[in-house]
């Protein structure tokens, strides 16, 4: 029941992202908003979600994962209801921002609840695999449901669908997840650290998002990056002096933690090119919202079966390093196949590359989640969960900004030529990911203690 409750809450985030993405053109038409303004319906959600993950994960460690988890579910359902009744674009964007905060609370604590419920090893790996499988199904379901609901009942219905799911998840969570005090005994929430890291991350994601449309060399992007750097520098200074830091610096310096988060940023960055496939299908091939959702079913099926059941078994068999090398290789190859995208090839032309990329990502993402939680002590589960998920949330807008900057440099109108250069950039990001995974520290021979994860055992100082 705990597994089912946690998955149902995490399901909300994935369904919401894909369902709103499909409905976005219809929302833009109703409010007669320019594309740059309408994009904030997606953008503000990503900003607040990425910004509050670290704080939410650590708050669960300090105050109890269940408390933060349930508050997040309720907040998500209420903000979805508000978004559905939004009388203006401004109200809709504000509601989406609140949704992002609530989603950060549920997703950060969901993985932490997994870590505290399932001991490190096959049971945890299997649970993470099942989570990935269901979330993959949720992405596909959101794409399909978004097309069906938008065409049949209008875009507001895609907001209302979150309400009954959230209400049920909150009731089940309150009943089946045991209430417990925070596991980070003797600590308190570092408020100055929370404010600076949240501000810094929101500014950083905003800078990357702005760079995706205006480029890195604009005044707005440069100013926002500078302010983000100042806020994050202040955060590091606070953490160095704090008696109860939000993110203990020795934790980040652990080899597995650092490597897992760097790889997570790189691998997620390569996914930025796949948002372009939505524009390719709807803008170039003139697919409808429903047809676009159907087009993403094959990659979603790969995530469901390989990510859900194959990834954890592969990690158990060949070790974490080898699994990540395999994942990075498939991600790179899939992106490389999409470099030759053409109008005439149509959907079948992008299908092989999409499936190969999905195969690599379906192995890589659950493997990185397992690696990010490896070796956590009681009271560190939320910290580890918030950090690895923050890396993923930073990687996507960073990758999208880089790829669109590359594409626009060669093709300002962003036609099919621009798409090709974008996938050249995605291939390069995949190569960096592959190189880093190959250069990971050599693994110990499997022993009863580390055979499950294939990660070298380390002392707390390491």
Sorted by where each begins, the domain ranges of the chain are: 2-189+246-438, 190-245
Instruction: Out of 3.40.50.720, 1.10.10.10, 3.40.50.920, 1.20.1250.20, select the CATH number for domain 2-189+246-438.
Output: 1.20.1250.20
- Least Cα distance to 135 among 14, 49, 298 occurs for 14
Residue pair 387/257 in contact by the 8 Å Cβ criterion = yes
State residue 180's pLDDT score: 66
- pLDDT in 10s for each residue of the chain, 462 residues: 888 888 877 777 777 776 777 777 788 888 887 766 777 787 788 888 888 888 888 888 888 888 899 999 999 999 999 999 999 989 999 999 999 999 989 988 887 887 778 877 777 777 777 777 677 666 666 666 777 777 778 888 888 888 888 888 888 888 888 776 655 555 677 788 888 988 998 898 888 877 877 777 788 888 999 999 999 999 999 988 887 788 887 887 777 788 888 898 988 888 877 777 877 887 788 887 678 777 888 887 887 788 777 777 888 888 888 999 999 999 999 999 999 888 888 888 899 999 999 899 889 888 887 787 776 777 777 888 888 888 887 888 788 888 888 887 787 777 788 888 889 989 999 999 999 898 875 443 333 333 333 333 333 333
The pLDDT value given to residue 95: 93
Residue 256 CA, distance from chain mean position: 19
pLDDT of residue 446: 36
Closest CA to 9 of 54, 89, 74: 74
| pLDDT in the model for residue 442 | 46
Q: What pLDDT does 102 receive?
A: 93
CA distance 371 to 120: 10
């Amino acid at each position: 029941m705990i597994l089912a409750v946690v998955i149902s809450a995490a399901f909300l985030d994935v369904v919401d992202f894909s369902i709103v993405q499909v409905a976005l053109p219809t929302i833009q038409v109703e409010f007669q908003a320019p594309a740059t303004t309408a994009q904030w319906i997606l953008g503000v959600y990503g900003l607040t979600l990425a910004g509050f993950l670290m704080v939410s994960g650590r708050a669960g460690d300090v105050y109890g994962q269940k408390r933060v988890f349930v508050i997040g579910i309720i907040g998500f359902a209420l903000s979805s209801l508000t978004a559905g009744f939004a009388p203006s674009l401004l109200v809709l964007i504000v509601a989406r921002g609140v949704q992002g905060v609530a989603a950060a609370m549920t997703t950060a604590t969901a993985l932490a609840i997994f870590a505290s419920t399932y001991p490190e090893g096959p049971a945890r790996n299997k649970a993470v695999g099942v989570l990935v499988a269901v979330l993959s199904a949720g992405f596909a379901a959101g794409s399909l449901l978004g097309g069906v609901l938008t065409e049949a009942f209008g875009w507001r219905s895609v907001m209302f669908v979150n309400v009954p799911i959230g209400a049920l998840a909150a009731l089940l969570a309150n009943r089946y997840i045991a209430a417990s005090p925070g596991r980070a005994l003797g600590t308190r929430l570092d408020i100055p650290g929370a404010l600076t890291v949240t501000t810094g991350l929101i500014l950083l994601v905003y800078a990357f998002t702005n760079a995706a449309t205006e480029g890195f060399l604009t005044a707005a992007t440069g100013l926002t990056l500078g302010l983000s750097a100042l806020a994050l520098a202040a955060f590091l200074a606070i953490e160095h002096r704090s008696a109860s830091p939000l993110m203990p610096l020795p934790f980040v310096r652990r080899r597995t933690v650092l490597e897992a988060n760097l790889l997570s940023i790189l691998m997620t960055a390569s996914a930025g090119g796949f948002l372009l496939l939505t524009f390719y299908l709807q803008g170039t091939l003139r697919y409808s919202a429903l047809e676009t959702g159907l087009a993403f079913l094959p990659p979603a099926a790969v995530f469901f079966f390989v990510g859900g059941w194959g990834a954890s078994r592969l990690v158990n068999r060949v070790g974490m390093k080898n699994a990540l090398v395999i994942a990075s290789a498939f991600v790179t190859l899939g992106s490389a196949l999409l470099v030759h995208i053409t109008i005439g090839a149509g959907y079948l032309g992008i299908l092989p590359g999409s499936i190969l990329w999905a195969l690599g990502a379906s192995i890589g993402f659950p493997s990185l989640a397992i690696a990010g939680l490896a070796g956590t002590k009681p009271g560190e589960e939320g910290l580890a969960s918030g950090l690895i998920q923050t890396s993923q949330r930073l990687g996507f807008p960073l990758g999208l900004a880089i790829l669109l900057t590359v594409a626009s440099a060669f093709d300002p109108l962003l036609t099919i030529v621009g798409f090709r250069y974008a996938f050249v950039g995605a291939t390069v990001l995949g190569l960096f990911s592959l190189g880093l995974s190959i250069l990971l520290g050599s693994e110990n021979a499997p022993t009863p203690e580390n055979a499950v994860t294939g990660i070298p055992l380390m002392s707390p100082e390491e």
